Structure 1
Amino acid sequence: MLLQPFRGRLTNGALSISTLHRNLVALGATGLVVAVASIVLRFSRKTSRSRAESRPLHLSRSGSAFYAVNPINVVRDRVVIAMVGLPARGKSYMSKAIIRYLNFIGCPAKNFNAGNKRRNKGLAGTGAAFFGSGNAEAKRAREAMAMETLDDLLAWLQSVECGSACGIFDATNTTVARRQAVMRRCAQEDPPVQLVFFESICDDDAMLQNNYRMKLANEDYVGAEAAKALADFKERVAAYEAVYETIADDEADTCFADDNCAEHGGVGGVQAAATGGRVAAERDADARDQGDGASGADGDGQGGGDGRSEGGRVGETARKSPLPLHYVKTINAGRKLVSKECEGHVLTHALTLLQSIHLVPRRIAIVLAGQSHNDAQGIRGGDTPLSSAGLKYARAACQLALDKLAAAAETPTSTGASASASLPANAPTASPPSTATAPAAAAAAATAAAPVVLTGTLQRYVQMAALLEPRAQLVLNLKPLNELCFGALEGLRCGKLQDSFPLEYAARLADKLNYRYPGVGGESYTDMIIQLRDVVLAIERTRADVIVVCDVAAARVLLGYFQGIPHADIPEIEIEQGVIELARSHSGFSCTHTRVDVGTANSFVKR
């Protein structure tokens, strides 16, 4: 109140001398002191704020480290997966899926294909006669190339410095003799590796014919006439069928480690023999103490001399212990799954993936979330609704996603039902158009074609899900799909991290994948990858089309998986506003992006 006469005019410099004199007289001496003190205090606070904003700040890191640690990089688990099965049974498809998923979760994984080894040696285009069981020379060449491929795998597996790793031996491995050779070779590794056979069996004729057609695209049939190429390939399959032996529990009963095996022979056999000799010697000493000459060294020869023979028997038993057999059988692309003694960190993840993947055609649309109110003001994080520009973009992007999925679902063999959908004007409360006049089959087809919507729990996601809900068969709000949490830096204005928190800025710049934002709830990209594993598996399991609404960080992680992008490159993936469409292909997922220029999407593309 004391400063009321001065308000506005002091700051504008428009207070005349006479007016100032009248106001000072009115205030008196006490009022003058209070007024001046108030002005000084306000100036001091303003100056303090200015200095605070310009002074670098430091956050306590006592409760959390700068970087996240992925458990799979700590647990040592080295695994060899040896594929088993006739050609065109989905072995390469399955191995590529496992490689993609393991690399995504941070486990180094690599495929070693025996067919590629053959082609690299100049044997591409080899006819079916090369694969016949009666061709002894070709058989020796095939075996040599297969074991050379396995040696390459084992050398790579042992070169991984720490944590878990998995190599896939992608070959037919259709005979017991070949599999036993693989078992003996892997048993020689030190440190040891775990070997598991993955057998792919397929007796679905329609699936086989489709697989045969896809095989004609490989390097063996470049430039060949389709009919002749198909006939040659089927002849090759018949040659493998003639000697094919499916995996059986008893096939390892006759498989023993070589003497130089690190696990079951070599040093172990010598130690066992020494142990046997020591036991016999102790027994003889006890017998002498008891005065039993018949059992002593000078008796009937069953004393010390028998110690050597007993040691030999113990060592022989150690060497002759059968090697363990671990296997997984998948029938008709995962319709049935059988596993035997498959344990460990890596195999648990691989089996979980095999239970999720399928060959049903479908598409996945990733829609970048619209601009929120905080986003419009350049403020990190928070949970505010869509801005006006964000809502415009959300309508356009959601409509585009629905249109693209509907167009892809329309095939020449459809029942005539159109899966096309359009957003009503009041989408959040609107109902889908009546299908009372449509045939029951068409209504069922339209329902089956409706997508599943996955999104986060923040307000902007809920608003966008409401735009899609009338045309979706299911909407799931999942916390792992929320944007990366900035922890104690939530609310910081964009561009202020380097000036205000230089240590945090430098730490993030050094390792964007593992850098974890400070404070309660602060996350890293590694944290997001771990959290989104279940979401990825849910998308893989879904038979219908899927629409994912998310912000930049989650979109990067999902693209990193579906596109097989190296782990360390995920934080650098460029994300533009619009719709990213993924479609399954033989080698994985193809990707197309359609930009939406209406309104504004999330702008923190450089996070």
Structure 2
Amino acid sequence: MWDHVTRAKDSEKSIESTPRSTSAGGHATPSFSAFNAVIKSSFSGTSSAEVSPSKPNLEKILRQPVNFRDVVITTTQSSISGGLNSPTKSVEIDLHASTSVGNLAEVDSLGSLYSEQPQYASVQRSKMVIIMVGLPGRGKTFVCNKLKCYLNWLGHVTGHFNVGNYRRNQKLGDLTQDASFFCHTNGAGLELRQKALDSALDDMMRWLNTGSGQVAIFDATNTTASRRQLLRDKLHGRCQYLFIESICNDMETLERNYMNKLMYSPDYAGVNVEEALRDFKARIQAYEDVYEPITDRSFHYIKLIDMVTGRGYMDINRISGYIPGKLVFFLMQVCRAGLGNARKIWLTRHGESEYNVLKLIGGDSNISGEGEKYATALPKVLEARLPQGEATPLQVWTSTLKRTIQTAQHLPFAKLRWKALDEIDAGVCDGMTYEDIAEKMPEEFAARKSDKLGYRYPSGESYMDVIQRLEPVIIEIERQKDSVCIVAHQAILRVIYGYFMAVSPEEIPRLSIPLHTLIELTPMPDGQMSVQMLPVDINADPSTLLENLASNPSPLPVLAS
């Protein structure tokens, strides 16, 4: 229980002698000595009449904005071993360790108050570093790319710092980066690898401290306790941090990961597959010789253990706070689908609607004649794009609006309707044209044009609202092992495409998502997506429809004005 609140080194000063502080907004606020004195009087049995009229009462203080800078919350509790009459123990927690945090709600927005931090350390609680741990071929880069997409999409500016890229960009002289380069007895290799780590770490901290960066992902093996302690020491007192260790013991999964690594790693570009696999396994052995899994329970960490096999589990230690909690849930879903499933994600707008013809926004209109042509052609196009070989289950997701349901009506697959996939709510502008809005609501039109991401239609939604609304849909797509076709609306598909293709939130509202076009996303082993745009010629003869589709790919979505 919190027994009393004091201001550090000033708890005994009188109310009259304590200057009033000024908040960030310029408002005068009572000091916490005054606050403490009033609280003491209230708990000591002093009546309100006994308090000096010159002293502010508790109600007045609480109604004013309070500057929490320099505030320390102190709790006292009796020693259990010494009995109730023993001297009390006092534990102090620095509640405002960083001046960059404006209020209590933001203090722990990224994580818990770490007990190992020194009192009054200048810690930037709005910054976090995620440190990857694990042997090569364990899916670390996959996890990094997924986390980067997810956090950036939610509005938390996130950077990915891959130490391997720094290593590859170094001038090595006569050294080659084969398996022997990674041996712990190779002094020259150790020196260059340490140099790469230092460069990546310096760039990461510079990025966090000088820009708008909020979360940094430090992508390296970090397989020894000494390396992790070094990173911990460098970050200690400067920002929050947590470790994510990826462990895989399933040989079938590892062999698949190894082959994927050889296909996409710059280290083995142009190298014979058999030779590359032999060298890569030797490199892994060099790391295994010194590998020490995280066992120190004083660390904040998430362990992913055989998660992609469906028989694995997560070990979560000392994780709390908004973003760390979201990361745990997100990783549970992403790792369920795994890295090696042959699946596709298709995105398509509904066929042309009656409102599209009239250039009206919103509404729940039917599809037009042209839209019906697209709905008729879509099954043949989609079936031709299914992965060949094994039978691949496919789900079709639509919104609850008629134009998407009608577009998907001929698709011979299981269908699911999502209210979350409904078009952005235009509020009072529903059923208007953009020309109408410009004429009748010029201020709203100008506000939307200047900030399409943050602008909210009167009584409607903004793109930021849509991003939050679609988060459960994104999570469900990520955890699917089957292919999915999403028939939805322009704003909705902009947001979904922006997530998978790592488009910055500011650019999402300007993505061009044309009608009668199938967008095909293919998950890659490194967690990124390949994309192909497939415009459908709705007036083509059915016998030549697929030929036209293959010979006339469309460019990727561009930013519209």
TM-score, normalization: structure 2? Answer: 0.69
Deviates more, 1:86-95 or 1:147-156: 147-156
Q: 1:532 aligns with which of 466, 470, 473?
A: 470
Given candidates 568, 575, 580, the residue that maps to 2:519 is 580
Residue 161 of structure 2 is aligned to residue 180 of structure 1? no
Structure 2 Cα separation of the partners of residues 110 and 212 of structure 1: 26
**Alpha-carbon displacement from aligned partner over 1:20-60 (angstroms, at most 9, x marks no partner):** xxxxxxxxxxxxxxxxxxxxxxxxxxxxxxxxxxxxxxxxx
Q: 1:595 maps to what in 2?
A: 535
Q: Which residue of 1 aligns with 2:454?
A: 514
CA contact (8 A) 1:364 1:582 kept: yes
Residue 287 of structure 2 is aligned to residue 240 of structure 1: yes
What pairs up with 1:106-121 in 2 under 5 angstroms? 106-121=155-170
Is contact 2:375-2:409 (8 Å) kept? no
Contact 1:454 1:476 in 2 (8 A): yes
Alpha-carbon distance in structure 1 between the residues aligned to 2:106 and 2:534: 36
Matched, 1:133 2:184: yes
Change (3 A) 1:366 1:125: farther
Match of 1:523 in 2: 461
- From the two aligned structures, give the one with the greater helix fraction: 1
2:132–2:221 contact (8 Å) kept in structure 1 = yes
Highest Rg: 1 or 2?
A: 1
Aligned equivalent of 1:453: 396
CA distance in 2, matches of 1:465, 1:347: 38
* Contact 1:77–1:346 (Cα < 8 Å) also in 2: no
1:403 to 384, 401, 422: 384
Task: Tell me if 1:331 matches 2:305.
Answer: yes
Are 2:505 and 1:554 aligned? no
Q: 2:296 aligns with which of 225, 249, 254?
A: 249
Give the structure 2 partner of residue 270 of structure 1. none
Counterpart-to-counterpart distance in 2, 1:461 and 1:560: 20
CA displacement at 1:478 relative to structure 2: 1.2
Residues 472, 77 of structure 1: CA spacing in aligned structure 2 closer, same or farther, 3 A cutoff? farther
Q: Which residue of 1 aligns with 2:257?
A: 211
Are residues 556 and 246 of structure 1, via their aligned partners in 2, closer, same or farther at CA, if it must alter by over 3 Å?
same
Distance 1:347 1:511 in 2: 30
Q: How many residues align?
A: 412
Aligned partner of 1:467: which letter? H
For 1:528 and 1:72, how far apart are their aligned partners in 2? 23
Structure with the greater relative contact order (CA < 8 A, sep ≥ 6): 1 or 2? 1
Partner Cα separation in structure 1 for residue 441 and residue 486 of structure 2 = 33
Q: Which runs of 5+ in 2 are unaligned?
A: 1-104, 110-124, 541-558
Matches within 5 A, 1:119-158: 119-123=168-172, 125-158=176-209
Q: CA deviation digits over 1:195-221, x for unaligned, max 9?
A: 111111112222222222233342222
Q: After TM superposition, list the pairs within 5 Å mapping 1:322-471 onto structure 2.
A: 324-334=298-308, 335-357=312-334, 358-359=338-339, 360-405=341-386, 408=387, 410-411=388-389, 414=390, 445=391, 449-468=392-411, 471=412
Gaps of 5+ in 1: 1-70, 251-323, 415-444
Match of 2:435 among 495, 499, 502: 495
* Cα distance in 1, alignment partners of residues 360 and 449 from structure 2: 20
In structure 1, give the amino acid aligned to 2:206.
Answer: A
SS at 1:539 equivalent: helix
Cα deviation 1:280-319 (Å, max 9, x = unaligned): xxxxxxxxxxxxxxxxxxxxxxxxxxxxxxxxxxxxxxxx
Which residue is 1:103 aligned to?
Answer: 152
Distance 1:72 1:572 in 2: 31
Separation in structure 2 between the aligned mates of residue 125 and residue 481 of structure 1, nearest angstrom: 52
| Higher strand proportion | 2
Q: Which amino acid in 2 is paired with 1:451?
A: L
Aligned mates of 1:462, 1:222 — CA distance in 2 = 46
SS of equivalent to 2:135? coil
Counterpart contact for 2:307–2:314, Cα < 8 Å: no
Partner of 2:413: 472
1:566 and 2:504 matched:
yes
> Secondary structure, in 3 states, of the residue corresponding to 1:496?
helix
User: Is residue 93 from structure 1 mapped to residue 142 from structure 2 by the alignment?
Assistant: yes
Closer, same or farther: CA 384–222 of 1 in aligned 2, 3 Å? closer
Q: Find out whether 1:223 has 2:270 as its counterpart.
A: yes
Cα distance per residue 1:525-577 (max 9 Å; x no partner): 11111111110111111111101001111111111011111211111111122
Deviations 1:56-92 (A, max 9, x none): xxxxxxxxxxxxxxx9999563211111111111111
Could you list the structure 1 runs, at least 4 aligned residues long, displaced by more than 6 angstroms after superposition: 71-74
